[in-house]
A and B are shown apart, each in its own frame.
Chain A
Amino acid sequence: MNEHDTMDKKIESLADFGDIAMPEHLHGKIMKRVFLAGYGKYLFFTGSILVLNLGVLGMDLYRTFSRADASLALRSLRQGFAFSPSYIGSAISTLYSMLPLQSIIATALTVVLSAYIAVVFVRIYRNPHGVKILKA
Chain B
Amino acid sequence: MTTIAPEIIERAKKGDIFAFEEIVSTFEKPLWNYLVRLVGSKDDAEDLIQDTFVKVYKHLKSIDSSKNIKSWIYTIATNTAYDFLRKKKRESTVELDEEYETKPDNASYYSVSIEDSIERKDVTAAIERLDLLYRGPIILYYKDGFSYEEIAEMLSIPINTLKTRLSRAKKQLASLLVNYE
A residues contacting B by CB (< 8 A) are 3, 7-8, 10-15, 17-23, 26-27, 29-31, 33-35, 37-39, 130-132, 135
Contact = CB atoms under 8 A, between A and B. Distances in A.
Interface in B23-69: 24-25, 28-29, 32-33, 36-37, 42, 46, 49-50, 53-54, 57-58
Contacts of A34: 17, 20, 24, 53-54, 57
Interface residues of B, number: 39
A11 B151 CA distance: 17
Interface of B: 15, 17-18, 20-21, 24-25, 28-29, 32-33, 36-37, 42, 46, 49-50, 53-54, 57-58, 109-112, 119-120, 123-124, 127, 138-139, 142-143, 145, 170, 173-174, 177
Given A14-B127, A30-B53, A33-B53, 10 more contacts: A11-B170, A20-B32, A20-B33, A20-B36, A22-B32, A30-B28, A34-B17, A34-B54, A38-B17, A132-B18
A131 B57 contact: no
Closest 9 CB pairs of A and B: A18-B111, A14-B142, A20-B109, A22-B32, A14-B143, A33-B50, A37-B54, A7-B174, A34-B57
A135 B18 contact: yes
A23 B35 CA distance: 13
Nearest to B106: A20
Please classify the interface of chain B as helix (H, G, I), strand (E, B), loop, or mixed, using the class held by over half of its residues: helix
A37 B59 CA distance: 12
Contact of B32 (A26, A33, A130, A135): A26
A10 B49 CA distance: 28
Contacts of B109: 20-21
Given A130-B21, A132-B18, A135-B18, A11 B142 contact: yes
B46 A18 contact: no
A21 B139 contact: no
A49 B170 CA distance: 60
A19 B57 contact: no
Given A19-B29, A26-B49, A29-B46, A37 B58 contact: yes
Nearest to B45: A20
Contacts of B120: 13, 17
Contacts of A18: 110-112
A131 B25 CA distance: 12
Contacts of B58: 37
Given A15-B143, A27-B28, A38-B57, A10 B119 contact: yes
A37 B60 CA distance: 13
Contacts of B15: 38
Contact of A131 (B17, B53, B112, B123): B17
Contact of B143 (A17, A35, A38, A130): A17
